[in-house]
Amino acid sequence: MLRAATLSLLFCAFLIVPASAEEARPLVGRKAPALEPARWMRGVSNVGQPVPSIADLRGLPTAILWVGGGDADVQALEQAASVFGLAPNRRPFAVHFRLMVLDAAPPPARVEGWAPAGYRRVVDWSAARTIRKAAWLPNDPTGLDGLGSPLARAYGVRRTPWLTLVDAAGIVRYSNAPPAPAALSQWVGANRPPKIPARSIHGQSFGAWQPVRWVTPRKTPFRFADHELTLVRWWTKACQHCAASVPALSELHRRYQSHGLHLVSVYHHKGGRRLSDAGVLAAHRRLSGSGDVATDPGWGKLKRIMQRAGFRSATSVSFLVDRRGVIVWAHPGPRVHWSASRRYVGPNQDIRVLEAFLRYRLGVAPAPPPAVPSAR
């Protein structure tokens, strides 16, 4: 009996202790492992959703809460709902949230599997307290896995509840038992994105480029997916606003190109002699322009996107687009550039906000979190 009990304890220990020196290395400060091979669902019976990747979550911090079926797990879920805005009719404002439900003691044949009954117990228990599953479950992917699985070992999960905090660059900043809600709220506040003026076009697709024509020679069609972020700016010749803004935005491109920023300068003709493609490129070079150059004949794309954005005062507008083709920042023009002059306080503030937002979304020196909170 004693020997059997000892073997049983050793087996349980094997399930929760990392199986290699690589897995035993501290996870904090390293890239977050891929969220595989867990199964994902958006409803109790909807299993088989595409696996969310850390790369897809880039641009916002990510909190991954690992829970089992105990009272402490339910409490951690309740606290997450409070901190991350998961209560009914609220959505996370600045942090992605991923819930991983683990079978706390899976039999050997199911180390990489998961017991659906355990998940339903967690949902039922949480609903019996203050969380309704409808507040977050239909929209936020929920992973199904087992304690001791390859994924749990890769994240160093030794017990539940367990919380992993990943910054905007995909670097793990915390991995331990959930801290007190106050400390967690402090981390969220420190990693909140810069405040940018709300625009109705934010979150909308940039749409098709037509009739924009590329002037810079390209071997393959342009794709937003090839860049983390793409800054699109309309400009023209003999324009003092463009003469100040194009060099500034090109400088941002040069600073953050290696981090995934791309710049597209779209020329739109505004009277006078029409420029050839060579003339457009030469005018762009005179402005110390960077990135790709295109033209918008007849302002076809410009008129459509300005109407959607509600921009009317200037045609030298700018849009920041993510790799999905979604607009995440927009500027109505006419100027966005650095300046020490009181005359251009607005443009100076706008480009500083833009640069802070770029650094945040690209994960360039993200805001350091407060001192790692102590696990309870």
pLDDT tens digits for range 281-299? 999 999 999 999 999 999 9
Regarding beta strands 292-295 and 261-267, do their DSSP bridges make them parallel or antiparallel, or are they unpaired?
parallel
Residue pair 241/318 in contact by the 8 Å Cβ criterion: no
Q: What is the CATH number of domain 213-362?
A: 3.40.30.10
Looking at residue 136, its amino acid is W
Cα gap 163→61, rounded to integer Å? 13
Phi, psi of 103 (to 5 degrees): -75, 110
DSSP 323: T
**Tens-digit pLDDT profile for residues 41-51:** 544 444 444 44
Q: Which helix (H) or strand (E) holds 269?
A: none
* Residue 146 burial class via C-beta count within 10 angstroms: exposed 0-12, middle 13-18, buried 19 and up: buried
Looking at every residue in the chain, the average pLDDT score rounds to: 74
CB-CB contact of 335 with 244 (8 Å):
yes
Residue ranges of alpha helices (H) inside the chain are 2-16, 21-24, 71-84, 116-128, 150-154, 181-190, 240-256, 277-286, 300-309, 345-362
268 φ, ψ (degrees, to nearest 5): -130, 130
What is the reported pLDDT for 155? Answer: 87
Cβ atoms within 10 Å, residue 196: 18
The architecture CATH gives domain 16-190: 3-Layer(aba) Sandwich (3.40)
**What integer pLDDT is reported at residue 247 of this predicted model?**
96
Domains 16-190 and 213-362 share a fold: yes
**CA pseudo-torsion sign 160, 176, 373, 52:** negative
Q: Domain map of the chain by residue range?
A: 16-190, 213-362
Quote the crossing angle between the two packed helices 181-190 and 71-84, to the nearest 10°. 40
Each residue's pLDDT tens digit, 176-204: 888 888 888 887 777 666 777 778 898 89
Q: Sheet harboring 327-331: ordered strands across?
A: 213-214, 292-295, 261-267, 229-235, 318-322, 327-331
Regarding pTM above 0.85, the answer is: no
**3-state SS assignment for residue 251:** helix
pLDDT-wise least confident of 17-26, 130-139, 218-227, 294-303: 130-139
Six-digit token string for 293: 């150059």
Which residue, among 318, 237, 308, 224, has the nearest Cα to 270 in the 3D structure? 237
- Lowest mean pLDDT: which of 3-12, 63-72, 79-88, 248-257? 3-12
